[in-house]
Amino acid sequence: MSLRTALRQNRSRARRLVAAGLLTATATTIGVTGLSGSASAADASDISHNRALARQMISDDEQFSCFRWIVNHESDWDHTATNPTSGAYGLVQALPAKRMSTVDDDWKTNPATQIEWGLKYMKGRYGSPCEAKNFWEVNGWY
């Protein structure tokens, strides 16, 4: 198994390594989604808050589970996550990031705006978060 594959399978370990300064220069090279150039991961309270907010906004258990799976893989619930290669940003890694301004101008700092935009995107492009997850599992992106 390659280093890239191992890190993609365990993003939280990758985040710890980056935070410890062990992968700072390598994060871009290996393409770990959701790591910012500064390599700062969201703190536990932000992660818990962002998950709880999404749960409040998504009443259907199955759809929430699928949305959670996508966000776990895309940003690990860090609403400031930035892909250093593509510029994708936020919980759902919008590209270009400014697309989230169609919901509100606070898209850079407000996880609720990002969640709302992500849900609209998933519904519009795939039909639902679960259909987006199915696409992601086949293609490695959504």
Q: What is the dihedral of CA 59, 63, 69, 74, to 10 degrees?
A: -90
- Give the pLDDT confidence score for residue 41 in this predicted structure: 57
- Give the pLDDT confidence score for residue 36 in this predicted structure: 42
Whether residue 4 has pLDDT greater than 50: no
Whether residue 61 has pLDDT greater than 60: yes
Q: What is the percent of the chain with per-residue pLDDT over 70, rounded to a whole number?
A: 71
Tokens found for residue 116: 């709302």
Calpha distance 138→134 (Å, rounded): 7
Quick check: helix, strand or coil at residue 79?
coil
Quick check: helix, strand or coil at residue 49?
helix
What mean pLDDT do residues 116-136 have? 98
Calpha distance 17→121 (Å, rounded): 32
More confident position, 8 or 122: 122
Q: What is the dihedral of CA 72, 29, 135, 81, to 10 degrees?
A: 40
Please give the mean pLDDT across all residues of the chain. Answer: 81
Calpha distance 108→97 (Å, rounded): 8
What mean pLDDT do residues 63-76 have? 97
Calpha distance 120→29 (Å, rounded): 31
- Give the pLDDT confidence score for residue 34 in this predicted structure: 45
